[in-house]
Amino acid sequence: MKILANDGLSQTGVDALESAGYEVITTNVAQEQLEDYINENNIEVILVRSATKVRKELIDACPNIKIIGRGGVGMDNIDVKYARSKGVHVINTPAASASSVAELVFAHLFGGVRFLYDANRSMPLDGDTKFKSLKKNYAKGVELRGKTLGIVGFGRIGREVAKIGLGIGMKVIATDKYVDNATIKVEFYNGQFINVNIETESMKNVLKYSDFITLHVPAQKDYVIVKKHFDIMKDGVGIINAARGGVIDEVALIEAIESGKVAFAGLDTFEEEPTPAIKVLMNDSISLTPHIGAATIEAQDRIGTELASQIISILKAEHA
């Protein structure tokens, strides 16, 4: 059996699948060539991340596909219901990348409160001639400790964000349409830990009382954050989106930054991927990363191992 990992797969995942007797192909096939490649090479399992799309047309055109695997959480690039209606297994790895995404949120937050997003642009240009003025420009940073962190979406990733926030002394509040409360386990050395129960609140409360807001929701048909939501937020708020492009109205975000309502933003995902809006890319108050939330060695190893385990289990059951 042949497995196409079109957006790549960690070596641990490849090794696990090959040890089980499957052929793993890691060639990256262009979207428009995917249908022919799958059929010509008799591919039965296709693994993707966020780049490759597996839509109804591809599913219909490639009847040999038995499993579609998504390395990560969201499956908005796959027509999941349709695939399952055709008897195709659709799997993902919802827990594998949670820690990596959460750490990236704090990379943006720490960089934001100390102006690293701007300093890293200015120092190479003017650090040797305007050192003292740059030092003055960046001398009014603030600490995260003691500040209120609002989490919109309190699933696995949101809870990992809460764990880090609690660990560095932040006050954490959260909102979620489907979660009433969650217990966050903060672990320390020698097996010590504390459990912190967090009851979710209204969206309005989170927007109103948070010093920093981070989004952890799936792809939506409509924006989650629009102008009216920025109006509720504190002046000088920081906002992070490492969830999905399109959950923040980027035009409204730029307006909020220019008015001073938003002090800085950190974006890992964008409305127009892979060609984000120039106004977003050029804004001096936005910390930017190219959708790398799950792109750590550890997360990719977990993703690969988890996908391999699910695939092996499904195929063994089918041949039992």
Catalytic residue of the set 18, 258, 272, 318: 272
Q: Residue 79 has which token pair?
A: 């027509």
Task: Determine whether 258 is an active site residue.
Answer: no
φ/ψ (deg, to 5) at 237: -70, 155
Catalytic residue of the set 70, 108, 229, 291: 291
Task: Determine whether 272 is an active site residue.
Answer: yes
> CA-CA distance, 286 to 264, in Å (whole number)?
6
- For CA atoms 26, 27, 28, 32, the dihedral sign is negative
**Number of neighbouring beta carbons within 10 Å of residue 8:** 17
The identity of residue 180, as a single letter, is: D
The greatest distance separating any two alpha carbons of the chain, rounded to the nearest whole angstrom, comes to: 72
Catalytic residue of the set 244, 250, 302, 306: 244
Task: Determine whether 319 is an active site residue.
Answer: no
Contact 26/2 with Cβ under 8 angstroms?
Answer: no
Q: Residue 159 has which token pair?
A: 């809870």
> CA-CA distance, 185 to 163, in Å (whole number)?
7
Residue 72 burial (C-beta neighbours within 10 Å; 0-12, 13-18, 19+):
buried
Give catalytic residue positions.
Answer: 244, 272, 291
